[in-house]
Structure 1
Amino acid sequence: MLHSFWGDFVGLIFPRLCLACREPLVSGENHLCTGCRAELPYTDFHLLPPEQNPIGRRFWGKLPVRHALSYLRFVRHGRVQSLLHELKYQGQRDVGTALGQLYGAELHDAGLAADFDLIVPVPLHPRKLAKRGYNQAAAFASGLSEGLQLPWSATALRRTTHTSTQTRKNRDERWENVATVFEVESPLAIVGQRVLVVDDVLTTGATLEACGAALLAAGAAEVSIATIAYADR
């Protein structure tokens, strides 16, 4: 009873806020308010056949992927952009973890956990990691790991070169920027594994393509990809 009182008291002074709209959460809500949970633009790509999946089509002829998944559609100036901004630039790594938990549980309920052995986030270069303090893709991977009940590794892939930002580059420029900057840290941990490679947002897919190619070259049995959000080109 005392614990409940102090919890309510602290909540009045330091209210928990919805990660998307920043409005106070009420009892029973975690991370996202009921309104945002209902109105977020979910893709449901995991329920579509491959030929109808726009992410899968984006990798045709470039990278053989088993599953191409994304939780939300990126809508400029919408809730998803707010979530990604909080995750990448406001130090709110809990955004990635929470969305990973939610999406991982959804994918687990759909039976997809049986198709993966290991979750691997797109790595940051150590210089950028030191500046930001965490890898937003790793936050998402940790949440997916909990929801899917599968292991994840923050060290399976390594970024060997500090590249310029991908923003405002076209697909060819993005590919040239990242084509040779990823390598597998320990091939023995990858050989024969069905790897789910994850990142925060998919635009052209060049970064995920480069990561997937490095994993397959190191002996991964197959590669799938998953992101928090998917941006139409």
Structure 2
Amino acid sequence: MLAALFADFVGLIFPQVCLACSEALTRGEDHICTACRAQLPYTDYHKLPEAANPIARRFWGKVPVTHALSYLRFLRHGRVQHLLHQLKYQGQRDVGQVLGRWYGTELTQQGLNQEFDLIVPVPLHPRKLAKRGFNQSDCFAEGLSASLQVPWDAAALCRTEHTSSQTQKNRTQRWQNVATVFEVANKASVVGKHVLVVDDVLTTGATLEACVAVLLAAGCRQVSIATIACAEQ
């Protein structure tokens, strides 16, 4: 009782704000207010057959992806872009964890928690990791792991080269930029498993395609992908 009263008092003096709209949160709201959560642009691709999934189509003829999943639609200057900016550049790791938990709950309701053996985040190069201090994909993986009850391993994949930003590149340039920069650190950790590779945003899919290729070459039974958001093409 006293702890709850103290928390309410602290909240009045130093109110937590929604990381999507910056309005004050009320009791029970988890980093994102109820209004913003209701208005987030959900894809619901996990409810579609793969043949009707526009994310899955981006990988057709390139690498075999069992499930292609993305929680939200990325819209410029929208709530999702703001949330991802908070996550990547403002150090708000809770954004990735919360969205991972929420999405993991939805995937579990669809029975997908029974499909995956391991969650693997797309790695940053050690130089970029040292500069940023954390990998935003790790945060998403951690949240998904908690809801799906599937282990995650930040060290399963490693990035061997420090590449330039993908932001201004077309699909061919993005693929050339990442085609040979990923390696499986410990093949025994992935052999025979259905691995879910996770990242923050899917654009052309070049980065995830490169990760899927090396995981399958290392002996994964199946590979699926999931991202916080996907950009329209």
Q: TM-score, normalised by structure 1?
A: 0.99
In structure 1, the residue matched to 2:212 is 212
In structure 2, the residue matched to 1:200 is 200
Matched, 1:30 2:24: no
Aligned counterparts, 1:1-233, within 5 A: 1-233=1-233
Structure 1 unmatched runs, 5+: none
Structure 1 residue runs of 4 or more that deviate by more than 6 Å after TM superposition: none
- What is the deviation of 1:28? 1.9
Q: Distance in 2 between matches of 1:56 and 1:214?
A: 18
- What is the deviation of 1:52? 0.9
Q: Distance in 2 between matches of 1:111 and 1:174?
A: 33
- What is the deviation of 1:180? 0.3
Q: Distance in 2 between matches of 1:4 and 1:231?
A: 41
Q: What letter matches 1:191 in structure 2?
A: V
- In the TM superposition, what whole-angstrom CA distance separates every residue of 1:27-72 from its partner, at most 9, and x where no partner exists? 1211211101110000000001111100000000001001000000
Percent identity among equivalent residues?
70
Q: What letter matches 1:177 in structure 2?
A: N
Q: Distance in 2 between matches of 1:140 and 1:70?
A: 12
1:71 counterpart SS class: strand
- What is the deviation of 1:25? 0.8
Q: Distance in 1 between matches of 2:79 and 2:127?
A: 29
Q: What letter matches 2:83 in structure 1?
A: L
- What is the deviation of 1:126? 0.2
Q: What letter matches 1:220 in structure 2?
A: C
- What is the deviation of 1:212? 0.5
2:175 counterpart SS class: helix
Q: What letter matches 1:100 in structure 2?
A: G
Q: Distance in 2 between matches of 1:214 and 1:22?
A: 40
1:183 counterpart SS class: strand
Q: Distance in 1 between matches of 2:86 and 2:120?
A: 22
- What is the deviation of 1:22? 1.4
Structure 2 unmatched runs, 5+: none
- What is the deviation of 1:96? 0.5
Q: Distance in 1 between matches of 2:17 and 2:101?
A: 18
2:201 counterpart SS class: strand
